[in-house]
Structure 1
Amino acid sequence: MNIAILGSGNAATHFGQAFQALGHRIVQIYSKTKANADALAFALHCPSTDQLSQLQRDADLYLIAVSDQAIPALAETMPQDINGIVVHCSGATDLNILERFKNAGVIYPPQSLSKNKTIDFSAIPFCVEGNNEGNTEILLQLARTFSTRSIYCDSKQRLAIHLSSVMVNNFSNILYQFAYELLEEHNISFDLVRPIILETAEKVQNHVPITVQTGPAIRGDEATQQKHLKFISNKPDLQQIYQLLTQQITKRK
């Protein structure tokens, strides 16, 4: 498959590398910043451009891999005389943002993508949607060359997956940061809690999360809860988070 990539950041980089590893041909990189387009194009051994008017028209797939905020404007200004399938890879963006195009779809990996960290796409269940049955099937077949766990889901389902991903990834990570800062304040290494982070993550691979919930809230240990709250009395934001999460755990006892 001949593929043009619009974007030059983390998602564009990982998708470009993964497509090439599977034998697909990257025919062009577009970025509004020429230097960024050139850098990724150099890595993927293909031409680059910073002009949408110069976008090649004969690719089989046009992957929009830019920030969610940038997708609408880019989709609106892309040439419309494209026969290939135009797709974005956003979890929170509806398919209808690409309604200008005859062939359109979404191929969304619910995964945090960092440019300098290798991603094993085979472990990610890609979420796919096309604007008709034929395009859905093409995109599903493509996604399943990455991962056999890839599935069809509509825009509403994909948004639910994206929101859930934010909760288990971004929200968890800021809690890790709160813990890191609290430990650092008391001259304790964050390394001491890394094992319990892994233990919790491993448990939920095979269980409904609430069934493996532990700690003072699920036990109804109010004395320990009050001790914790007193300990962080100088951190009102953290106190508020602690109380809210404790209430949610208690409700599910």
Structure 2
Amino acid sequence: MTQTLSKPVETKTQYTVTWEKLPDDFKLPDAPVENIDQPLLAAALREALDWAGFILASMLIASNFGLGAKVNDKTVVKAPDWVYVPSVLPAEPGEVRRSYTRNAEGEVPAVVMEFLSDNDEAEYSIKPTYPYGKWRFYEQILQVPVYAIFEPKSGRLEVYRLISGKYELQEPDADDRYSIESMGLFLGVWEGEKSQRRGYWLRWWDENGNLLLWGAERVEQEQQRAEIQQQRADRLAAYLRSQGIDPDGV
């Protein structure tokens, strides 16, 4: 689960970074989603948080969403498969947020995730020159505290934490999960079926080890509870009748 892909030798590069909100007429990258799994995985992560009442209006949780910065006078935008920002400034009335720039629009993104595709290893790229590799951009420029890389086919999850300015691979706990302190939750891998897709998924657990359920799971859970309560009521009614007591008159 923790074996990493090989990365090129890193070089030292100086960056001058300014945090300016992208202008409204800035043309964002319009690359298509690489496969059908990526939006399903991202949506499932958000759905569980939504049903658990975790999401606040002050947060930014998005998928395939542009994070921008001006580096050495050039605007750079990367769109992680999933991003969580604990607190952002309110959007202007009627404004639809198209991208996000830390400091200029709120806090540093706390978590970014990438889901590995078959195309390349861009998620591990530390390319030090424009337009910069994803790893380099998240680590050295945005300085995101937690970077998770998930391979849907194998179920391999790697979680890196920013320590002294460098990403270090974290070890999972005894339950094979990773603590995400900024969210008060644990992230791990679950195997099963959702949205007509069977395979590995990323799931959330709370601090007590309880799985954050998706909507359909919550409905099923409530149905099971209702059935158990009905069975208990039926058993009680049968017992009362056996004692010569009319349960409807109790």
Shared fold per TM-score greater than 0.5: no
User: What is the TM-score of this pair, normalised by structure 2?
Assistant: 0.30
- Greater relative contact order (CA < 8 Å, ≥ 6 in sequence): 2
Specify which structure has the higher proportion of helix: 1
User: What is the TM-score of this pair, normalised by structure 1?
Assistant: 0.30
